């Protein structure tokens, strides 16, 4: 629980401090890189990797994230705003559905392949936690960012004194 609290505090400090410090000095690091660093720390803590496991796991995990990011980038590039004519609305909807299913299948293929790879370099219990830990991290980040957004909009409930 102590490590979990530390991660939350680290995320909060990194995400909120970057806006304050940027007015005083040039940004030192890309926010995306900061989030990735926090994610790596979170995964390492959740998986409780030994030195040997970490040495084998991180190269495989980096390849996995690179493939996933590449697939997501391709998806965003191929998203073209299709102008739907009334006659072709059903055809366009079918094409979009097919594109989405192909994307989901490719994502599943990547995850299936890397699930096997993770099992080769980690004990089964830890390998089974990789995707779950990623989901948990994303959920935490989304909740944190939503809370920050609500606070900025003045809808976050009572504010704490600083």
Has residue 10 been placed in a domain? no
Has residue 58 been placed in a domain? yes
Give 45-103 pLDDT, tens digit per residue. Answer: 999 999 999 999 999 999 999 999 999 999 888 775 555 445 578 888 888 899 999 99
Structure tokens at 69: 């990011």
**122 and 36 Cβ atoms separated by less than 8 Å:** no
Has residue 55 been placed in a domain? yes
Range of the domain at 65: 51-78+89-150
Count of structural domains within the chain: 1
Has residue 68 been placed in a domain? yes
Give 134-148 pLDDT, tens digit per residue. Answer: 999 999 999 998 998
CA atoms within 13 A on the CB side of 152: 8
Has residue 45 been placed in a domain? no
Has residue 121 been placed in a domain? yes
Has residue 162 been placed in a domain? no
């Amino acid at each position: 629980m102590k490590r979990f609290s530390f991660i939350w505090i680290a995320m909060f400090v990194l995400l909120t401090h970057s806006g304050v410090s940027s007015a005083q000095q040039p940004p030192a690091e890309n926010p995306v890189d900061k989030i990735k660093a926090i994610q790596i720390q979170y995964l390492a803590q959740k998986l409780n990797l030994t030195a040997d496991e970490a040495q084998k796991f991180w190269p495989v995990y980096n390849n996995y994230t690179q493939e996933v990011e590449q697939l997501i980038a391709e998806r965003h590039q191929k998203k073209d705003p299709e102008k739907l004519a009334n006659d072709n609305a059903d055809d366009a909807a079918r094409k979009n559905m097919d594109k989405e299913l192909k994307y989901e299948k490719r994502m599943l293929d990547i995850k299936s392949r890397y699930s096997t790879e993770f099992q080769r370099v980690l004990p089964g219990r830890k390998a089974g936690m990789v995707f779950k830990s990623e989901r948990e991290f994303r959920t935490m980040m989304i909740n944190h960012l939503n809370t920050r957004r609500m606070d900025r909009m003045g809808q976050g409930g009572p504010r704490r004194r600083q």
